[in-house]
Structure 1
């Protein structure tokens, strides 16, 4: 799979959404915001370890959290 600068990706094994900042012949540079450290982090990863981030999955998680909040408000 090929990636472009600006693509939002994630590790195949899971984790936070990462933004592609540079595409090299052997590695992909990415950046993400680390809440726990309150700053941005960058690294280079082999493209074989990445997949495009599916924001539909993220939307589903947000909807589930909203439903949980509504149930808490009712109780």
Structure 2
């Protein structure tokens, strides 16, 4: 028997941060913690007043810079 079903893509499609319903809320505790870990490794600072969307963007940037995270 041949299975012709297609598998769903492994990655979630990237959503535009500007459309996030909660994107303007303050970053979460886990975001803050992970950002500080990445920033320390990269020799960068983290503003305390970042939004969830800004924190997400900075996490992605620092992951690329440090080689952490998924490609």
Verify same fold: TM over 0.5: no
Relative to the length of structure 1, the TM-score reads: 0.22
Q: Whose RCO is larger (CA < 8 A, sep 6+)?
A: 2
> Quick check: which one's strand share is greater?
1
